Structures are given as C-alpha cells and as structure tokens.
Amino acid sequence: MACCVDSAVAPPGHADAGDTSIPSPVPFLSYNAAAVTAAVANSESSHWSPAHSSAIYRIDEWGAPYFSVNSSGNVVVRPYGTGSLAHQEIDLLKIVKKVSDPKSAGGLGLRLPLIVRLPDVLKNRVESLHSAFESAIQAQCYESHYQGVYPVKCNQDRLVAEDIVKFGAPFRFGLEAGSKPELLLAMSCLCKGNPEALLVCNGFKDAEYVSLALIAKKLALNTVIVLEQEEEVNLVIDLSNKLSVRPVIGVRAKLRTKHSGHFGSTSGEKGKFGLTTTQILRLVKKLQDSGMLDCLQLLHFHIGSQIPSTALLQDGVVEATQIYSELVRLGACMKVIDIGGGLGIDYDGSKSGNSDLSVSYGLEEYASAVVNAIRIICDRRSIKHPIICSESGRAIVSHHSILIFEAISATVNTPAMNQIDLPLIIEGLSEDARCDYWNLSDAAMRHENETCLLYADQLKQRCVEQFIEGSLRIEQLADVDGLFDLVSKVIGAAEPARIYNVNLSIFTSIPDFWSIGQVFPIVPIHRLDEKPEVRGVLSDLTCDSDGKIDKFIGGETSLLLHELEGNDGGANGRYYLGMFLGGAYQEALGGVHNLFGGPNVVSVLQSDGPQSFAVTRVVPGPSCADVLRMMQHEPELMFETLKHRAEEFHVEDHDNDGTNYATLISSIARSFHNMPYLKALSPCSYEEVHNAAAEFGASEDEQWSYCYA
C-alpha cells in the first residue's frame, strides 16, 4: 500500500493507547491508486472489442448457433441458426427500443420486464431435432422413423403450442399432456396438426381424464393412453368398453437405469412414475384376459431431465428396448418406443457431462446414440424396428424465449478521500479507536498492506460498538465505513460485489433459480464493445431476501457489469440485461410474490425490413388490477371504496398543495391500470392521467387494442 500520512504530523512509531495527545489528522498521501487503476482500465478499454465480451460471457459456447455479439456491441439473434445470413440478424436492443418507446415515437409504449419470443428459433429447433434423428436413421439403415412430441408442461402458452404443431406438421410432430387441462389444450391444437401426430397422455389419471382421452380417439386424434400406475388399466378397460372405443395403450416402465443429478430423481427403481417388471407382467395378463393385449402398442420411459452423457442415455435405451422386446414376445402389438425427455441444454457452455448445467453432446450425438442402441437390440432379437418417439421439451423451447430487464440503480463506489471527514472521525473516538487509527497511519507509511487492513477493521469494529453505545454520531460512523472501504480498495483487497437493483421479480420470472438453484446465462444485451469492470449481483424488487441472483454460469458468485451511466450512447442511459435459455418452465412455475405479475410478451419474426424484424404480437403483462383479482380482490370495488374515502374526507376541488380532486382519483385509477413494475420517470400531463382513469373499467380489448400488430 503506497499511501502514507505527513511524517511531520503523524507520530513516529506505533501509537500508545495512553497517549491522548492527538495531532490534527491528515489524509493519506500517495500516488492516486484510483487514478492509476482508471488509467489502466482506460488503456485496456481502448483495445476492448465485442469479441472480448463474447468470450467473458461465454456467448459463443452456450449461445451458438442462435446468439452472438455484433460490431456495435449488442447481442443479436440468428433466427435460423447456422443458416442465418448477416442481414437477417436481429438486434435485441432495437427490439427493446421498439417495444418501450412511446407510441408517439412509433413504439408500443410498454414497460419492461419483457419476454421476447422468437418463433423462427422455435421452428429451427423442431426442424433440427427431426433432422438429427433422420440423419441417424439413414446413416444406420434403421427401418422405421422418428416422430416426436412436445410436452406442453414445459411452456403451455397457446402460441408456443400452436406454433410447434404448425412447424412440426411435416414431421408428424405431436403433443404430450400430463393433466386434464393440458389434454384439452393438446386436443384443440392437434385438430390443426398432422393426423398422424401422436397425442401422448401421461400423468396420473381418473375416470374423467381417461374418458377425455378416449373422446380424443373418437375425434380421430392419434391418442395413446400411457399407464403410469397399475390401477389405471382397470379404468381404461371399463371406460373403453362403455364408450365403444378401441384404445391405443402405452405403459411407462420404471427402469433400473438412473442418473445421479438433481433431475434424475424421477428415474430408477424408486422413481415417482412407472411400473416395475412385476407390475408390467400383471398388466399384460389383465389386458390379455380382457382381449385387449393388441391395444398395448407403446413403451415409455424417462431417465430424467438433463441427461448428462450419451453413455447414460444408451444404458437406459438398451434396458428399455429389452423390455420392449419382451412385450413383443409376450404377444403385445408393439409399435412405438417413447424415450421420454432428457435431451439436455448446455446452460453454461462447458460441454460437461458432470454437471446439471451442461451436457456433453449435441443433437446429432443424442439421436445417433438412441437409434444405435435400439437398432442393435432389435436386430439381435429379430424384432421389427419401432417408431422412435421423444418428449423433448426443454431442448425445443429454451432458446426461443429471452427475458429482458433493466438495472435501475446500483450501490455506490468506494468514496474518494476528499469525501471523508477525518477530523470528524477523530473527534469522538475512544482511546483504543484512536490507537487503531494511528497504527493504521503508521502501517500505511511503511507500506504494510495486511497490517493496514487489520487496523482498519479494528477501527471499524470499535466505532460500531461506540455507535451502538450512543457515543458516536451516524456521520462519524459513515466516514469510518468509507475509510475502511477506501483502504481495502487501495491495498487491492477483494472489493465486495456491488448490488445492481433490477426491475424484475425473480420469483415470477426466474423461479427455478430461487427454488432449485438453476443457473441461466445472464448478459448485458448492449455496451459489449466496452469493458465491464464492475462485479455485481442482482437484487429484484420483492421484499424478500431470497430475491437476488448471486450465482452465475462458470461457478461465479458475481457478474461482470458496466457502470450505470447517464448516457450510454444507445439506450438513453438505461442498462438492459438478458436472461437466456429460459423458455422452459419459468413462465408456468412463476408466482405472484409481492403481487408482481408476469412481464409483457412480444413475438418477433425476422423480416426483410430496415430493422430486420417485425413485432407480430404483443401480450400485455398483468396490471395491478389483474394480480389483485388473482388473490380474490375486486379492483372495481376497491376503486369505488377509495373514491368514497376521498369524498368522505372532503378532498376539495383544489387542495392546499394544489392537488386537484379529479387528478387524485385519476392517479388511483391509473395505478390499478398499470403494471406493478417500476416505470422510468417522465413528465406526465394531467391529460395523460385523466385518460388513464377513463380507460380503467373499459374492457380488456379496449384497453390494449393498440398492442396487437
């Protein structure tokens, strides 16, 4: 530590605790460490490029082939993956500008947070998955075909499900449901799909569920009722006879193969779902006795989500194919092997097979491993190759959805030396604290960095004790805190991560982080041509200590970020972050903690226009009134109550503070109408407020008609 005090003023040696003769303190004098650090940073920043940012955030590892950084330092979407051309790239910052700009400036006038859906990416994922299996089938001379299903539990949004059915129609791509409402959703969507597309009915079932699945079969949907519990077979036999429907039945096998990660808890002999070999044999006997063994046509299994390696995948597929072969031997009319989900996502770009955040394979390796394992067993046992079905949800929808939110403030930097009032610190110190101060000064002159930090810490702790006792003022304590932070920074001690406050609810928009510690890539979507030099953690708007993100990809406990500035040259001084690969589960699992509802959602397609994109649909996020209704409140009655309260307390037409009665009531109405999230400060005229009040109580379509492009 190259900082010192004036030797003519400071004591020549360690201070004596009994010496109360304290000369006037002087600031630390030395080279300006902060200036040097800034100079070095500026020098390095002059050579900083978007490629450097791409490397530190691992964008090319987890984001390929859909995300990259352009020459302006903005994250762009490559909507067609490897087939995207340069002019087809979509700049995320331009989307944010289009969505958040006021309507008078050609924007949509919506607030962040924002979910950007990319149907082009979704289509590419469906096509890529099918292509990977078709390539493996052709390369290995497999004598059947692949047709997948999308498990709607991953994202039940209507547009997502409808798009997958539409994009997958050429490939007979179907849907999987695990509950009655999901089954209704799937039935409706598949009415417009390929007639050969599978409707796989999983999950626990009662008579109503089974009846609904049998009705789907009557409606000429290619329905398979998968038995997850042994007793379900009785329902299927009885109800199919009553409804005169010949069902197609599948059975879920409880495999011995299990993976040890967090997502493997539903696999293995003690898994939640599926039948053991003993139960499968009883099922076969019951179907045979009922004359329905020919209805058993599909074998389903699920090793668990995020299967880390193809070695584990092959183990499970081999075991399942042996069970499939035995069912054929026992007389079942088997046609399909459903390998379930498990096709993983590389969230951190590590390509590791030893992590819940990554997988060591790509689509092609996955498909090849599945086809190879099934082919070998079937050929060995002289069994016709079955149709291969998979329930890949996470792998299909994760990439197509991006959550964009804004950092609205951050904790301040370490104070400068001239901001610390050293005479004020000394004024009320105890003798021991004064001793620590002078020992700190002496250590500074002798460049003893560790000793400096020791005495600075002791000084801080003694001052905290004095403050609690009431003998130190808050101004003095604040200066001591500043001095400690300054000493820590100058000697190069690890500076604690700064807190970036973000306009977001983690419980609503990233629930997997809070609930299971799932880490997603989070990256600034702009300013990547500048060097990020601040270590930060993210704190959300909720009044909850768990409402923070302090774990990031790469095992980091903080994220490199940029200083918040008044003007960054492209986003009007705002700082936008994106959470990527979150298209699966987050929206369905999100709650309304602190009554923060979901974000606004926009669908964006690549276009040949000047911006390279078009916003094709906007779905507004819930207003304050909407989230209050979720909790059984009645916003209209609440508004009337508050209005009567204002009248009861004789709020005059013009209050002493200039508040107009109509303006007050309009402000209340406007709050019901707006989203719960924070809004950037901007002048708001009386007319705007009055218009907002007039809109409250109008129909939803009337309120939001401007949103639909």
List residues with catalytic annotation.
543
Cα 594 from Cα 542, distance rounded (Å): 6
Cα 193 from Cα 105, distance rounded (Å): 40
Cα 195 from Cα 181, distance rounded (Å): 21
Burial (0-12, 13-18, 19+ Cβ within 10 Å), 57: buried
Beta partners for residue 530, in sequence order: none
Left if phi > 0, otherwise alpha if psi is -120 to 50, otherwise beta: which for 244? Answer: left
N-term to C-term CA, the chain: 61
Cα 272 from Cα 315, distance rounded (Å): 20
- Phi then psi for residue 373, to 5 deg, are -65, -45
Peptide bond connecting 181 to the previous residue in cis, omega within 30 degrees of 0:
no
Please report the DSSP string for 319-346 in residue order: HHHHHHHHHHHTT----EEE--S-----
Q: H helices within 156-309, ranges in order?
A: 158-168, 180-190, 207-218, 232-243, 277-289
Q: Which residue has the tokens 């011995």?
A: 256
Cα 2 from Cα 41, distance rounded (Å): 19
β-sheet with 90-91: strand ranges across: 67-69, 75-77, 90-91
DSSP, collapsed to helix, strand or coil, labels residue 535 as strand
Per-residue tokens: 529: 């041509």
- For residues 3 and 33, the answer to whether their CB atoms sit within 8 Å is yes
- Phi then psi for residue 256, to 5 deg, are -80, -30
Residue 115's nearest CA partner among 547, 603, 508 is: 603
- For residues 676 and 597, the answer to whether their CB atoms sit within 8 Å is yes
- For residues 224 and 249, the answer to whether their CB atoms sit within 8 Å is yes
- Identity of residue 634: E
Per-residue tokens: 223: 């329905």
Cα 646 from Cα 206, distance rounded (Å): 53
CA angle (524 as vertex; 563, 349 as ends), nearest 5: 130
Per-residue tokens: 55: 């490397």
Cα 30 from Cα 357, distance rounded (Å): 47
Cα 70 from Cα 67, distance rounded (Å): 10
- For residues 227 and 236, the answer to whether their CB atoms sit within 8 Å is yes
- Phi then psi for residue 127, to 5 deg, are -65, -40
Q: Please, which residues have CB within 8 angstroms of residue 534's CB and are 6 or more apart in sequence?
A: 410, 498, 560, 561, 562, 563
What is the number of residues in the chain? 709
- Phi then psi for residue 569, to 5 deg, are 85, 0
| b (16+ CB within 10 A) / e for 648-682 | eeebeeeeeeeebbebbbbbbbbbbbebbbeeeee
